[in-house]
Amino acid sequence: MEVNGGSSKEMPGFLTRVWQGIISIFAMVKSCFRGFFERVWKLGKDDPRRVVHSLKVGLALTLVSLFYFMRPLYDGVGGMAIWAVMTVVVVFEYSVGATLSKGLNRGFATLLAGSLAVGVHELASLSGDKSEPIILGISVFLQATVFTFLRFFPTIKTRYDYGAMIFILTFSLVSVSGYRVDKLLEMAHQRLSTILIGSALCVLVSMLVCPVWAGEDLHNLIAKNLDKLAASVEGVVAENFKEGEGEEEGEINEENPSVLGYKCVLNSKPTEEALANFARWEPAHGPFGFRHPWKQYLKIGMAARYCAYSLEALNACTNSDSQAAQELTQHLKAVCTKVGHVSSDLLLDLSSTVKKMTTSSHTDLLVAQLNIAVQELQLALKILSNPLPVHVSIPDIVLIATVASLTVEISARVEDVAEAVEELSRIAHFKTETAEENKQKAATIKALADSDGPHVAIHVDSL
């Protein structure tokens, strides 16, 4: 009786644990689904064009499926209608340029490979039954070897890699299957027709329904990178000479977005190159005319990255434990901060030039101010080093010289960005400002050039 009583007491406890386990499983599943839908919502909210692109792919696949649903269309292409569906799946990309690139590569590669394969098949069939498979095998080997090797060339790898792959696939399929198929020409014609239909449908939907232009994305990306770089130039220099305020002197606040902005510039090279490659395929759209100089955007991005490299080096020089070096760098604070501030203003002005596609009347003035600020920094460094305080060690001298030289290097890199933007404005024929504004700008720059030169006061008595 005691045993049975003990068992009856254990049963409710066991059932309770089972029920709690089931509840915890449901709670875990609910949490997973909730987290998944939150990520989906955030992904669509960050860029609504992704949702539109998904709808466009669904629309294109629905339209191409009509070749199966409607008997007259199916009779026109036969069983090859599946190639139109496959073409939509593999060709439809996010931007118009990427879709055009894949569609044209696939279309021309299929046309060229199919024509060549049919010609080789006809020649092989004339040589006799025994020699035909040998000739076909040799032709497949040669074309696969040659076009696979051509894919290693940088130009072909960048723009025509997909076309080369489709050429190898189409030539092999048509030439090998033609050995057992009687109506080879009809099969090649149907396959080419369905691929061209699928590619054309992708291009039309991509261009007519809320188009996403790779050129526009590249244009906006370069402008945003210049904005981020402008914030980082001023932010890194300001953090470099920041005193105390709850943090150790000379310690960079890595959570400051203005400091970390240059890292986005460093990591944007693959995106810029991909967008520039796709933009070359796109027709004229918006303010971007035919043969717009997309390569020049890559030069601006390269110049911006060189500036970001110098910022990263300056950022790495700030964590010094030497009190003497920190005291000396504080006496360079005013001139270095001025260089950073003017460099930031110049980058913001260049970003505005790119965004509006209009040459600015302030660019030359800001470049002149930057040169004067650099001269003040060099003069301050000379005054500070003649003579150097006796308690300053050689590593401290090296650190001070490095900080100053990197600040000067940053200004030089910013001027390189200005030259690249100026070249873009010339090639792309950016709008110019009015004659009155240009006259005022010239007078201001002339007055600045006729001044006595830089004046800076350096106090070294405390050292």
Cis peptide before 395 (omega within 30 of 0): no
3-state secondary structure of 461: coil
- Going from the C-alpha of 403 to that of each of 342, 365, 383, the distances in angstroms are 17, 26, 16
pLDDT at 244: 44
> How confident is the model over 364-377, as a mean pLDDT?
88
Backbone phi, psi, residue 65, to 5°: -70, -15
Checking if the pLDDT of 250 tops 60, the result is: no
Q: pLDDT-derived band of residue 296, with 50, 70 and 90 as boundaries?
A: very high
pLDDT, tens only, 44-58: 777 788 889 999 999
> ∠ CA 116-118-121 to the nearest 5 degrees?
110
Among 108-112, 382-386, 398-402, 419-423, which stretch is predicted with the lowest mean pLDDT?
A: 382-386
pLDDT at 323: 57
Chain-centroid distance, C-alpha 165: 25
Q: pLDDT-derived band of residue 452, with 50, 70 and 90 as boundaries?
A: very low
> How confident is the model over 102-112, as a mean pLDDT?
91
Checking if the pLDDT of 3 tops 70, the result is: no
pLDDT at 325: 57
Query: Above pLDDT 70, what percent of the chain?
Result: 76
Query: Above pLDDT 90, what percent of the chain?
Result: 31
Asked if 460 and 386 touch (Cβ cutoff 8 Å), the reply is: no
Asked if 318 and 250 touch (Cβ cutoff 8 Å), the reply is: yes
Among 118-122, 126-130, 450-454, which stretch is predicted with the lowest mean pLDDT?
A: 450-454
Q: pLDDT-derived band of residue 251, with 50, 70 and 90 as boundaries?
A: very low
User: Which residues are CB-contacts of 292 (< 8 A; sequence separation ≥ 6)?
Assistant: 215, 279, 284, 428
**Cα distance between residue 439 and residue 443, in whole Å:** 6
- Burial of 380: CB neighbours in 10 Å, binned 0-12, 13-18, 19+: buried
Q: pLDDT-derived band of residue 433, with 50, 70 and 90 as boundaries?
A: low
Q: pLDDT-derived band of residue 321, with 50, 70 and 90 as boundaries?
A: low
Asked if 117 and 175 touch (Cβ cutoff 8 Å), the reply is: yes
Q: What is the biggest distance separating any 2 CA atoms in the chain, rounded to whole angstroms?
A: 113
**Pairwise pLDDT comparison (267 vs 328), residue with the higher score:** 267
- Both tokens of 152, joined, read 């290693």
Among 68-77, 198-207, 273-282, 290-299, which stretch is predicted with the lowest mean pLDDT?
A: 68-77
**Pairwise pLDDT comparison (216 vs 380), residue with the higher score:** 216
- Alpha-carbon torsion angle 378, 381, 387, 390, nearest 10: -160
Among 30-44, 188-202, 247-261, which stretch is predicted with the lowest mean pLDDT?
A: 247-261
Checking if the pLDDT of 397 tops 80, the result is: no
**Cα distance between residue 420 and residue 169, in whole Å:** 42
Q: pLDDT-derived band of residue 236, with 50, 70 and 90 as boundaries?
A: confident
> How confident is the model over 455-462, as a mean pLDDT?
41
**Pairwise pLDDT comparison (326 vs 193), residue with the higher score:** 193
Q: 248's torsion region: left (phi>0), alpha (psi -120 to 50) or beta?
A: beta
SS (H, E, C) 23-53: HHHHHHHHHHHHHHHHHHHHHHHHCCHHHHH
Report which residue type is found at 109.
Answer: A
Asked if 121 and 184 touch (Cβ cutoff 8 Å), the reply is: yes
**Cα distance between residue 458 and residue 463, in whole Å:** 12
Q: pLDDT-derived band of residue 269, with 50, 70 and 90 as boundaries?
A: very high
* Partners of 431 in the β-ladder: 358
Checking if the pLDDT of 424 tops 80, the result is: yes
Checking if the pLDDT of 140 tops 50, the result is: yes
**Cα distance between residue 317 and residue 311, in whole Å:** 10
pLDDT at 280: 92
> How confident is the model over 417-446, as a mean pLDDT?
75
> How confident is the model over 282-302, as a mean pLDDT?
91
pLDDT, tens only, 335-367: 888 888 899 999 999 999 999 898 888 888 899
Checking if the pLDDT of 160 tops 60, the result is: yes
Chain-centroid distance, C-alpha 303: 15
N-term to C-term CA, the chain: 95
3-state secondary structure of 358: strand
Checking if the pLDDT of 131 tops 70, the result is: yes
